[in-house]
Amino acid sequence: MIGILGAGAFGTALAVALAQGGRSVRLWARSPEDVARMAATHRNDDRLPGVVLPPKVSFHADAGDLLEAEVLLFCVPMQSLGGFLARHQDQFARQPMVACCKGVDLETLRGPVSVIQAARPDVAAAILTGPSFAADIARGLPTALTLASRDSANVELQTLLSTSSLRIYRTDDVTGAELGGALKNVIAIAAGVVIGAGLGDSARAALMTRGYAEMVRLATRLGARAETLAGLSGFGDLVLTCTSPQSRNFRHGHALGRGQAFDSGVTVEGVATATAVVRLARQLGVEMPVTEMVDALVSGRVTVEDAIPNLMTRPLKQE
């Protein structure tokens, strides 16, 4: 049995895909009302409209109901992960814990795996990341993801989480996988700004390229392998989130570029990640001008009208 903590769009989509692949899934939601509604309808239309959850998915408001799971998938927002683990860790056994969120914790400047390891050093910790939209996963469309762990349980988890439509690759480069998934959200906000401001696809391509250079620069400074950033968890995810309006980060940036408000109820992981990464990069002496500009934009310290010229007038250099 697989336990999924978090019944947002991504957690619900994984529950659908894994149950359709023959796994029994227990899906935890914070709200007892949501649990009762999903149990009655086998739908989660607030998060994933039009999708019917298979019979092998059961619904739970008590995290202790997932005690017997072979693995726990944490589909909660990155900035909530540490607090969630602190509140519920006594309800879990020693099964592997897999983060399904992307970002850098604002308080500790840690990635998801490090947050899990700090809370539960006695369990195998991993991250599931890569180019994926919840709606595609739930519809059974082909999706490939990266599972990163330093633990030998990586191979067993790869098999357990793979289905006919969900192809899982594995790596032991946790730092590369964490930072690829985190940083691409920041660059996706910038890409949205570019398109929203009407600067065109050529400008977006340039932005993505220079943003990718920043991703590699910071990740390798922290010990990641450059080839990990060239894979699904880095380049693959970057392309998806910078080019599709399904991406919340891209949509947020697009609204910024057009001078429009964005729904404050939608979680946009790249906003907090930009702030955290700027702090981390400064500590390490790593230059990240795109990330710094995104942080300044989302915090309201600069306007779009100021941001673009500031990037374009940086000193000329060799690529």
- Could you give the angle at which helices 78-88 and 269-284 cross, rounded to 10 degrees? 90
The mean pLDDT value of the chain amounts to 94
pLDDT digits (tens, 9 = 90+) for 63-85: 999 999 999 999 999 999 999 99
Catalytic center residues: 184
* Domain CATH for 235: 1.10.1040.10
pLDDT digits (tens, 9 = 90+) for 94-124: 999 999 999 999 999 999 999 999 999 999 9
Count CB atoms within 10 A of the CB of residue 230. 15
- pLDDT value, residue 17: 97
Residue 72, strand partner residues: 3, 97
Domain housing 300: 175-312
- pLDDT value, residue 315: 61
- pLDDT value, residue 263: 87
Calculate the dihedral angle through the C-alpha atoms of 169, 175, 177, 180, rounding to the nearest 10 degrees: -160
Position 314 pLDDT exceeds 70: no
- pLDDT value, residue 256: 95
- Give this prediction's pTM: 0.94
Average pLDDT over residues 17-28: 97
Average pLDDT over residues 181-193: 97
Give the residue from 224, 196, 204, 243 showing the smallest Cα distance to 284. Answer: 224
- Band (pLDDT 50/70/90 cuts) for residue 307 is confident
Q: Same domain for 203 and 187?
A: yes
**Cβ proximity of 228 and 234 under 8 Å:** yes
Distance CA(250)–CA(241), nearest Å, equals: 6
Q: Same domain for 19 and 168?
A: yes
**Cβ proximity of 106 and 272 under 8 Å:** yes
Q: Same domain for 6 and 39?
A: yes
Query: Which tokens hold the place of 18?
Result: 């894994």
Last residue within a domain, chosen from 172, 188, 216: 172
Distance CA(66)–CA(58), nearest Å, equals: 11
- pLDDT value, residue 312: 67
Give the residue from 122, 108, 103 showing the smallest Cα distance to 181. Answer: 103
Question: Residue 317 falls within a domain, yes or no?
Answer: no
Last residue within a domain, chosen from 172, 202, 218: 172
Counting the structural domains of the chain, the total is: 2
Average pLDDT over residues 215-225: 98
- Band (pLDDT 50/70/90 cuts) for residue 131 is very high
**Cβ proximity of 138 and 13 under 8 Å:** yes
- pLDDT value, residue 152: 72
Q: Same domain for 11 and 90?
A: yes
User: Which residue in the block uniquely carries the two structure tokens 């914070």?
Assistant: 30
Last residue within a domain, chosen from 172, 198, 221: 172
Give the rounded percent of residues in the chain with a pLDDT score beyond 70. Answer: 97
Q: Same domain for 276 and 188?
A: yes
**Cβ proximity of 168 and 232 under 8 Å:** no
Position 224 pLDDT exceeds 60: yes
Q: Same domain for 149 and 13?
A: yes
How far lies 252's CA from each of 9, 148, 249, 261, in Å?
A: 17, 28, 5, 9
Position 317 pLDDT exceeds 80: no
Count CB atoms within 10 A of the CB of residue 203. 17
Q: Same domain for 41 and 157?
A: yes
Average pLDDT over residues 6-25: 97
Q: Same domain for 43 and 148?
A: yes
Average pLDDT over residues 260-275: 92
